[in-house]
Structure 1
Amino acid sequence: MRKLFVAAAFVAAFGMGLAGFATNARADKPITLRIGHPMAPGNNVTVGYEKFKDLVEKKSDGKIKIQIFGNAQIGSDRVTTEAAQAGTLDMSSSSTPNLASFSPAYMAIDLPYVTDPKNQEKLYKALDEGELGKALRQVANDIGLETIMFSEYGYRNFTSAKQPLKEIKDLQNMKIRTTDSPVEVAVATELGMNPAPVAWGETYTALQQGTVDGEGNTFSLLNDAKHSEVLKHAMDSQHNYSMHILLMNKKKWDSLTPEQQKIIREAAQEATEWQRKESVALEEKAWQAFRDKGIDITILTPEQREELKAKTMPVREKFAKEIPQHIQKLIEETQK
């Protein structure tokens, strides 16, 4: 019996040694992670992921490679996020409106005028260090994903390929391109517009052919995607704020070693900080590009902006019932 016990102990110890060797081998073996996103080349989200790639590869000494498939090469936000959920793609970046179909919690960010540019730094701090970021990471975990980056997307503005946008009433009867987000559709409806959910990759053609009259998006993305070639009018409505969230398949994340996870987290944090600053410069550049192309931009008066807020308030009241209260509260706290 004593001999059997000693033999069993030896086998167990040897097995533990092999397991340790396997873990080290797995840590040393190069891996490649694939990201799919819909954003145009040169866009603020795109350059942020390029920065992330560079940092990950540098910090890992090339043992973690990042492959980026941007500009909707492998599908829209929804398609790539579904692929990330299924594990057929490692990471997907989706705008928060397009994440509404995966969890209603993401609608909290997209409600009209729940955030204000003057409180942006408070919002970032809550996402990066506070309970808001933790709550949204839990939302991702609940749908089989892990949050990697809260990338800056920006504030959307209404634009038109046809009619001037001088006053709030000019938005009425416009056939406006929206995402599938129920919030975005409801905002358009409350403003008397005709919402038309169109995939991002098809929007340029829809504007060209007159299938839609206009869209709401950041000037930066519209300029990078060359929509400024067909747009004629715009207003700085800033009617909602969005992020592009980089999400990884949860099982894939859990399969990484602690060292690999640490490298990705550090790279994501550095890339996010850099990307947010770069976003400001790119948005300013886009505004100038709009002017250079002769696009007429209406700067709303404080009274006009209050009118927009009042008209879209029913949307906030309607969806407040569907969104987790604690997330709404955490967002509200960043605006004080």
Structure 2
Amino acid sequence: MTTLFKAAALATVSLGAMSAPLFAEIEPVTLRLAHVVNEQDGFHAAATKFQELVAERSDGAISVEIFPNATLGDERTLLEGMQIGTVDMGVITNGPVSNFLEEMAVFELPFLFPSPEAAYSVLDGEIGQELLDRLSEVNLKGLAYAERGFRNLTNSERPVTAPEDLDGLRIRVMENPVYIDTFRELGADAIPMAWTEALTAMQQGTIDGQENPVGVVYSFKLNETQTNMTMTRHTYAPAIFVMGMPKWNQLSGEAQEIVSEAAQEAAEYERALNAELEAEQLQALKDAGMTVVEDADLSAFAAAIQPVYEEYGEKFGDYLPRIREALK
């Protein structure tokens, strides 16, 4: 039981039935939470769980209105809106967040985390919390790490089993230097663009492929344009429950505690959901006719991207060596 709810319980017991619990004193507020994916995606599941938790724990004083499908803009636009107070909060992929605080991109160095559990140990530990706290430097409040998950490669041209198979393929990547340089080292023509634009580009054939976790490939039915997927698991991508500091500073301490704890629980819920659904979604994609390469030469991929570590290893201060030490 949190300190808040202990206090609420004590207040109610000591003052008798006439007394209202502490959370009744929370100023009613509606939070506008946005994300860029559809209602079948894990981000929406996380947002919905958060919505339920804050409503329950504030006795309805805190309500959440969810805006999916990039209705309020792409992820960069949402983050800029949070900074100035036109958007309250969102579930945002880590890549765009790192354009505002560069060190956040350390988590997405290729082949850094060997497993989801290894990633969670770092994200939920001292290093992850330190970087969430540092988002205040850019007028954002980092609340918790959900996940996009381990990313895999899809394309419409040919099966990819080794880096040389990527030669010349036009691959959409997030607007993030680490991703751009990773795929250039692998021989692809890396094309940074917002996700909303990428969906149209795949349909029109102006790009050949993209990279995302299985859940995204499934929920957006990318198999309709992307005939091949390679289980590269090249990067673990966190996602962040993030709020603009203008909105955060308007909340009372009690409301902030409820929001923070609900974000963490919703993030953990979404991670577990991703793990549960991935095998089922992968099988559904195979059944729909997608060619899935599960035995690619990942050691060759890992060797090919070593220049990325040489380029970026020192750009993130001491975070990379600290993460490597934590993973031992």
Question: Which TM-score applies when normalising by structure 1?
Answer: 0.87
Q: How does 1:6-17 map to 2 (within 5 A)?
A: none
> Structure 2 counterpart of 1:331, which letter?
I
Identity, % of aligned positions? 32
Aligned-residue Cα RMSD (Å) equals 1.8
- Label 1:25 to 1:50 Cα distance change in 2 as closer, same or farther (>3 A): closer
- Per the alignment, residue 94 of structure 2 pairs with 96
- Label 1:278 to 1:25 Cα distance change in 2 as closer, same or farther (>3 A): closer
Deviation at 1:43, TM superposition (A): 1.1
Provide the C-alpha distance between the structure 1 equivalents of 2:264 and 2:179, rounded to a whole number of angstroms: 29
- Per the alignment, residue 142 of structure 2 pairs with 147
From 306, 317, 328, the counterpart of 2:320: 328
- Per the alignment, residue 58 of structure 2 pairs with 60
- Per the alignment, residue 4 of structure 1 pairs with none
Provide the C-alpha distance between the structure 2 equivalents of 1:25 and 1:308, rounded to a whole number of angstroms: 53
- Contact 1:51-1:271 at 8 Å conserved across structures: yes
- Per the alignment, residue 268 of structure 2 pairs with 273
Q: How many residues align?
A: 307
- Contact 2:34-2:70 at 8 Å conserved across structures: yes
- Per the alignment, residue 120 of structure 2 pairs with 124
> Are residue 180 (structure 1) and residue 175 (structure 2) matched?
yes
- Contact 2:147-2:270 at 8 Å conserved across structures: yes
- Per the alignment, residue 199 of structure 2 pairs with 204
Provide the C-alpha distance between the structure 1 equivalents of 2:280 and 2:142, rounded to a whole number of angstroms: 29
- Per the alignment, residue 77 of structure 2 pairs with 79
The answer to which structure has the higher helix fraction is 1
Deviation at 1:122, TM superposition (A): 3.8
> Structure 2 counterpart of 1:176, which letter?
I
| Structure 1 gap ranges (5+) | 1-23
Provide the C-alpha distance between the structure 1 equivalents of 2:298 and 2:252, rounded to a whole number of angstroms: 49
- Contact 1:122-1:334 at 8 Å conserved across structures: no
Secondary structure, aligned partner of 1:38: coil
Provide the C-alpha distance between the structure 1 equivalents of 2:24 and 2:32, rounded to a whole number of angstroms: 18
Deviation at 1:125, TM superposition (A): 3.2
> Structure 2 counterpart of 1:123, which letter?
A
Provide the C-alpha distance between the structure 2 equivalents of 1:329 and 1:27, rounded to a whole number of angstroms: 46
Secondary structure, aligned partner of 1:323: coil
> Structure 2 counterpart of 1:183, which letter?
V
Deviations 1:3-61 (A, max 9, x none): xxxxxxxxxxxxxxxxxxxxx99944310011111122121122011111111111111
Question: Which TM-score applies when normalising by structure 2?
Answer: 0.89
Secondary structure, aligned partner of 2:305: helix
- Per the alignment, residue 310 of structure 2 pairs with 317
Secondary structure, aligned partner of 1:192: coil
> Are residue 138 (structure 1) and residue 130 (structure 2) matched?
no
Deviation at 1:147, TM superposition (A): 1.0
Deviations 1:185-227 (A, max 9, x none): 1011101110111210121221121100011111111210122
Instruction: Specify the structure having the higher radius of gyration (Cα).
Output: 1
Provide the C-alpha distance between the structure 2 equivalents of 1:204 and 1:322, rounded to a whole number of angstroms: 32
Deviation at 1:89, TM superposition (A): 0.9
Provide the C-alpha distance between the structure 1 equivalents of 2:46 and 2:120, rounded to a whole number of angstroms: 16
- Per the alignment, residue 289 of structure 1 pairs with 284
- Per the alignment, residue 8 of structure 1 pairs with none
